[in-house]
Structure 1
């Protein structure tokens, strides 16, 4: 499709995006950012648009995907935005205070529960816990990958049953 024809179609259908952006974000400024980013992505990826298809649906899909990806990214950050005039950022991890005594008791109980696991489950679980990947553990123990995965799964299940207070 020619760039000029695509640009005309984009301009003709762009006004329908604004209410959708406001509906998604519930905030005018964020909606404007989402609207602009959607138009940018549409222009940057215009070669992916199949002429003859519904351009509104294509644009709505782009906008929805941008919104979902931004939401997921913000949820992973675990940061709260305080919309007061000062715009403070509060990190969730700094709010809680650890109880050292309780943590050491839990750690002892967890270590004891791990040591009580049958050796067939304990070895792959400890290797996985130390950061080895499933494939590396399977090669090291000369076992099939599926066997290693199931043993680690059963080890977790046994630990969860033993430590039901912390599950």
Structure 2
């Protein structure tokens, strides 16, 4: 396929991309940028287009991949854009100071709540908390698997209600 034929086919199918770009971005300016980027990438990679395949599907795939890559890139940056006239860039990763005393008290409350569980729930829960699998706990305690699962479930529910009190 010649370059002229490819360009004509691209131009004749490009209009179908605009509504898709608006659907993805929900912003007309961002949609225009996405549309332009898609056409640029299609022209840059015209040698990768297989003659006879659906060009609309090929263009939609390019656009979707560009949108996903841009979204992931923005999520990694984790920045907030302020739309004030000066367009300040605020860094979201601000330092947070941990309060060791508060976390120690909370841990003591959790340990106390676990200690106050009835033994029938406490033992399977502690084994599960230590990293054992359900079937391993069932073998250790010589109980059916379903019984172990329900005891751990009820232990969680009891802990949840006890922790809401604190």
TM-score calculated relative to the size of structure 2: 0.59
Q: For residues 78 and 4 of structure 1, do their structure 2 counterparts lie closer, same or farther at Cα, with a shift above 3 Å needed? A: same
Larger Rg, first or second structure (1 or 2): 2
Q: For residues 102 and 50 of structure 1, do their structure 2 counterparts lie closer, same or farther at Cα, with a shift above 3 Å needed? A: farther
**Superposed displacement of residue 157, structure 1:** 5.0
Question: How big is each residue's C-alpha offset from its partner over 1:135-164, in whole Å with a ceiling of 9 and x where there is no partner?
Answer: xxxxxxxxxxxxxxxxxxxxx958xxxxxx
Q: Please state whether the residue corresponding to 2:80 is helix, strand or coil.
A: strand
**Superposed displacement of residue 84, structure 1:** 2.8
Q: For residues 102 and 27 of structure 1, do their structure 2 counterparts lie closer, same or farther at Cα, with a shift above 3 Å needed? A: farther
- Distance in 1 between residues matched to 2:15 and 2:90, nearest whole Å: 36
| Two-structure CA RMSD over aligned residues (Å) | 2.9
1:127-146 correspondence to structure 2 within 5 Å: none
**Superposed displacement of residue 88, structure 1:** 2.1
Q: For residues 92 and 102 of structure 1, do their structure 2 counterparts lie closer, same or farther at Cα, with a shift above 3 Å needed? A: farther
Counterpart in the other structure of 2:26: 26
Counterpart in the other structure of 2:11: 11
Aligned structure 1 segments of 4 or more residues deviating by more than 4 angstroms: 102-105
**Superposed displacement of residue 101, structure 1:** 3.8
Q: Please state whether the residue corresponding to 1:86 is helix, strand or coil.
A: coil
Question: How big is each residue's C-alpha offset from its partner over 1:28-49, in whole Å with a ceiling of 9 and x where there is no partner?
Answer: 1111111111000000000111
**Superposed displacement of residue 61, structure 1:** 0.4
Q: Which runs of 5+ in 2 are unaligned?
A: 105-129, 133-166
- Distance in 2 between residues matched to 1:103 and 1:80, nearest whole Å: 30
**Superposed displacement of residue 103, structure 1:** 9.6
Moved more, 56-65 or 79-88: 79-88
Counterpart in the other structure of 1:39: 39
- Distance in 1 between residues matched to 2:102 and 2:47, nearest whole Å: 56
**Superposed displacement of residue 97, structure 1:** 2.8
- Distance in 1 between residues matched to 2:101 and 2:22, nearest whole Å: 47
TM-score calculated relative to the size of structure 1: 0.58
**Superposed displacement of residue 100, structure 1:** 5.6
